[in-house]
Amino acid sequence: MSVTDPDDPEDAGDNAVRVWLVERTYSDDEQNIIILVYATPDGSQYLRKERALTSFGDVRDTTAAVDAKPDSLGRVDDDDSREAYATEATRMREKHDPDDLL
């Protein structure tokens, strides 16, 4: 299994920035959406992905890390969030291989 997904627009090839899963939440409304947040190990940048729980035909694995295009990453401005993301991204990087399924 490859960390990058050729069908995913975040697949950036040689310019990729590796980001690690730091947060997984579920929407509270009736939309049934999983929100995945991946971040750089220093917590300064993040990638947010949303997935519908009801899309049975569209089954995608959640991996410990993904490779993202640099311009698809947002900047983390809040110090508390940056610290939390850095702590979790570092923990994930130490505990998991990038393509581990979670």
Q: What is the mean pLDDT of residues 66-83?
A: 97
The residue extents of the domains of the chain are 13-95
The answer to whether residue 7 scores a pLDDT higher than 50 is: no
The answer to whether residue 11 scores a pLDDT higher than 80 is: no
Alpha-helical (H) ranges within the chain are: 79-95
Tell me the per-residue pLDDT of 57-74, one tens digit each, with 9 for 90 and over.
556 789 999 999 999 999
Is the pTM higher than 0.75? The answer reads: yes
Share the mean pLDDT of the chain: 85
The answer to whether residue 94 scores a pLDDT higher than 70 is: yes
Cα 28 to Cα 18, 33, 59, distances in angstroms? 29, 9, 21
More confident residue, 51 or 3: 51
